Structure 1
Amino acid sequence: MFGRKKTPSVDSYSSGASSEKEWRLIERVVMANTAELKRGRRWGIFFKLLTFIYLFVLLGVYFQNSVDLSDHAHSTDHTAVVDIDGVISASDQANADAIIANVRRALSHQGTKALVLRINSPGGSPVQSAYVYDEIRRLRAIYTEIPIYAVIVDTGASGAYFIASAADEIYANGASVVGSIGVTAAGFGFQGLIEKLGIERREFTSGEHKAFLDPFSDVDPEEQALFEALLTDVHEQFIDAVKQGRGDRLVETEDVFSGLFWTGSQALELGLIDGLKSTGQLAREIGHPSLVDFTSRPSPFEQFTNRFGASVAQNLVKLLQNDQFNLQ
C-alpha cells in the first residue's frame, strides 16, 4: 500500500482528453473569428478607399467644370449655345428664370458673336414661354450686333415654338417636329363613378363659380363657355407672338394656327422655320464655328446625390419585394 505509485484512472484520462478537445475547439473558433474580422477589416478598408477615390473623381470633375467656365472669360470669338430641353415649367429645369439667366450670361460675354437657342421640347407652360419670349425680344433690341437663332432638334412644339419665334431666324432638321400653335387643357369627370359607388358629394362654396371645373360635378355649359373663351384668349396671344416674330415669312394657311404640327421640311414650306441646319452647321456658316455652352446644369454633387437617392429607393423597394425585412 505504502510506497506504491498511484496510477491514473480511466476517468482521469477521459477527462483530460475531453478538456483538450474543448480547448482545441475553442482555439479553432477564436482563430476563425479572428480571420473573419481581418477579412471584414480588409474589405472595409477597400470600400472606404473606393469611396474616397469616387469622391476625389467627383471633386475633379467639379473643379474641371469650374475651370472650363472661368476659361470662357479668355476664350476667342464663339457661338454661344443655350439649351431649352424638356417640358417648359416653373418646377422643371427648363423654367423661365433659368433660361433667361443663361441667355443674359451668353449675350453679355465679350466673345459671343452669335447665340443659338438649341431647342428640344414639347412645350409646356404658356406663362413661362411668354416670359422667355418677351425677354429675348427685349435683349435683341439691346444686343443688336449679336444675332439670335433658334435650332430645333427633335421637337420644338407649342410653348417651345412660342420661344423659338422670338429669335431672328429658326432652323430645324427635316424630320424635326415643329409647330402645334394651340392651347390645350384637359381633365376627368368622376360624377358617374361616385354615383355607382354610392358616394355622396358635399361641396360648400362662396361665389357662383368658385367650384369651376369641379371633376365631381357635371359640366356647366356657362362655365364651359367661359373656359373656352379663356383658352381662346391665350391662343390669340400665342398667334400674335408668332406673327410678330415671323412677320412676312409666315404663310398663313387655314391650319397653321390650328394646333397641328409638321416635320421640319413641311414647316419650311409654311414659313415656320428659315432652313434645315444643325447647330454646328449654322455656326460654321455664320463664321464662328467654336461653340460655347452657357446652359446651367446641376453640379456633379447634385447629380451624385440625386442618383444616390434614386439608388437607395430602388434597393429599398427590392428589399420590400423580397420580404427581407418588415416595417413594423
Structure 2
Amino acid sequence: MKQPLSRLLPKSLRSDITTIPVVRLQGTIMASGSPLRQHLSLSSTAGIIEKAFSYSAPAVAIAINSPGGSPVQSRLIYKRIRDLAEEKKRKVFVFVEDVAASGGYMIALAGDEIIADPSSIVGSIGVVSAGFGFQEMIGKIGIERRMHTSGRNKAILDPFQPEKKQDVEHLKTIQEELHQAFIAMVKERRGARLADDEDLFTGLFWSGERGKALGLVDVLGDMRSYLRSRYGDKTRLKLVSHPRGLFGRRLTLFGTATRGIDIAAAATDGLLQAAEEQALWRRYGL
C-alpha cells in the first residue's frame, strides 16, 4: 500500500501538522550574570526569541519561570517579544511554570494570553530594593571609612554610613515611579480582564488559580494540552534553543560561555549572585 506523499516530508512541512516554536525563559533577571549561572537579560534571550518568530507558525509559545529581578531587562525582553509579535503578526501564548512574579510577570504580560498551572505563583506587582548597613561593624573591627566626593549626593545610600532620611525618601520616590510604570503596563495589557481588588498592585503574589480570578491569568492548564486544544491534536512543539558548538557547549557572541573567565573572580561573583538569586526564589517558597 502506497503512503501519501505528505508522509515523506519532514514533520514541520506537512500541511496537516502545526508546529509551534517554544522559548523557555528561566532564571532571575539581571543585566549580566556569572557565565556559570543561568540568568535572563535581553542579550541572553534576544537570539532565541528572534529565532522563534522566524518560524512560519501561527503562534509562539513562551514558558516562563522567573522570580523577577531587573525592571529594565524585564521591560526590554517584554518589548522585544511584543515588537516581533506585531511585526510578524504572531499570537503569543505565555505559560507560567513555577513562578512568574515581579519582573517575571512583567515579561508574561507580552502574552496575548497567559496560561498557568493552578499551583503556579503569579503577581508581585511592586518594586523592592534591599541592602545592608555596615557602619557599626567596621567600627568594631577597627576599619576607618574614607570617602571623598564631588557632589553632595554622590555617596547617597552608602552602606558604610548611617542611613539618612532624605536618602530613603529619594529612593522611595524612584521606586514609586517604577511601580506606577509597572501598574500602567499591567492595565494596558490586561485591561478589562483585571478584577477590582485593592490588593492587586500592592506587591502581593497569588497562586495561578487565584491569579485567574484576579484577571492576571487567562487559563489554567499546561502547554501541550492548551496548544492542542487551539490548533488540533497534530500540533507539534518545537523547542528553540541557543546554537551548540563543539562538544555541545553553548555558543555566545564572544565564543564559548567559559572562554577567558578568571575562575577565582567568577567563583566569587557566582557566590554573591547565588545568594541574591536564592533570596528572590525563596520569597515565593521555592
Q: What TM-score range do you get, normalising by the shorter chain?
A: 0.7 to 0.9
Which of the numbers 9, 21, 25 marks the counterpart of 1:80?
Answer: 21
Q: 1:87 to 1:216 in 2, by over 3 A?
A: same
Identify the structure with the greater helix proportion: 1
Secondary structure of the structure 2 residue equivalent to 1:186: coil
Q: Quote the offset at 1:200 in angstroms.
A: 2.1
Corresponding letter in the other structure for 2:66: S
Alignment pair present for 1:160 and 2:101? no
Q: Quote the offset at 1:89 in angstroms.
A: 2.0
Q: Which residue of 2 aligns with 1:103?
A: 49
In the alignment, is the contact (CA less than 8 A) between 1:80 and 1:113 conserved in 2?
Answer: no
Corresponding letter in the other structure for 2:54: S
Alignment pair present for 1:169 and 2:113? yes
Corresponding letter in the other structure for 1:301: G
In the alignment, is the contact (CA less than 8 A) between 1:98 and 1:296 conserved in 2?
Answer: no
Q: What is the CA–CA distance in structure 2 between the aligned matches of 1:196 and 1:90, rounded to whole Å?
A: 35
Which of the numbers 75, 93, 97 marks the counterpart of 1:130?
Answer: 75
Q: Which residue of 1 aligns with 2:269?
A: none
Alignment deviations for residues 188-238 of structure 1 (CA, whole Å, 9 cap, x no partner): 101111222233221111111111111110111111111111111111111
Secondary structure of the structure 2 residue equivalent to 1:223: helix
Alignment pair present for 1:292 and 2:233? no
Q: Quote the offset at 1:271 in angstroms.
A: 0.3
Task: Provide the identity percentage.
Answer: 39
In the alignment, is the contact (CA less than 8 A) between 2:12 and 2:18 conserved in 1?
Answer: no
Q: Kindly report which structure 2 residues correspond to 1:16-31, keeping only aligned pairs within 5 A, or say none.
A: none
Secondary structure of the structure 2 residue equivalent to 1:286: helix
Q: Which residue of 2 aligns with 1:218?
A: 162
Corresponding letter in the other structure for 2:102: S
Q: 1:158 to 1:297 in 2, by over 3 A?
A: farther
Q: Quote the offset at 1:101 in angstroms.
A: 2.5
Alignment pair present for 1:258 and 2:202? yes
Root-mean-square deviation (Å): 2.4
Q: What is the CA–CA distance in structure 1 between the aligned matches of 2:134 and 2:179, rounded to whole Å?
A: 28
In the alignment, is the contact (CA less than 8 A) between 1:82 and 1:99 conserved in 2?
Answer: no
Q: What is the CA–CA distance in structure 2 between the aligned matches of 1:211 and 1:236, rounded to whole Å?
A: 27
Q: What is the CA–CA distance in structure 2 between the aligned matches of 1:297 and 1:259, rounded to whole Å?
A: 37
Aligned length: 236
Alignment deviations for residues 256-283 of structure 1 (CA, whole Å, 9 cap, x no partner): 1111110011101100000101010111
Alignment pair present for 1:236 and 2:180? yes
Q: Quote the offset at 1:103 in angstroms.
A: 2.1
Structure of greater Rg: 1
Corresponding letter in the other structure for 1:98: S
Give structure 2 stretches of 5+ with no counterpart.
1-9, 33-37, 251-255, 265-286
Corresponding letter in the other structure for 2:249: E
* TM-score, scaled relative to structure 1: 0.67
Alignment pair present for 1:113 and 2:58? yes
Q: Which residue of 2 aligns with 1:205?
A: 149
Q: Which residue of 1 aligns with 2:35?
A: none
Secondary structure of the structure 1 residue equivalent to 2:65: strand
Q: Which residue of 2 aligns with 1:89?
A: 30
Q: What is the CA–CA distance in structure 2 between the aligned matches of 1:297 and 1:192, rounded to whole Å?
A: 50
Q: What is the CA–CA distance in structure 2 between the aligned matches of 1:295 and 1:258, rounded to whole Å?
A: 36
Give structure 1 stretches of 5+ with no counterpart.
1-70, 314-328
Q: What is the CA–CA distance in structure 2 between the aligned matches of 1:89 and 1:297, rounded to whole Å?
A: 22
Secondary structure of the structure 1 residue equivalent to 2:28: coil
Alignment deviations for residues 81-124 of structure 1 (CA, whole Å, 9 cap, x no partner): 100111122324422133232222212212x2211110111111
Q: 1:138 to 1:252 in 2, by over 3 A?
A: farther
Q: What is the CA–CA distance in structure 1 between the aligned matches of 2:142 and 2:31, rounded to whole Å?
A: 39
Q: What is the CA–CA distance in structure 1 between the aligned matches of 2:105 and 2:243, rounded to whole Å?
A: 22
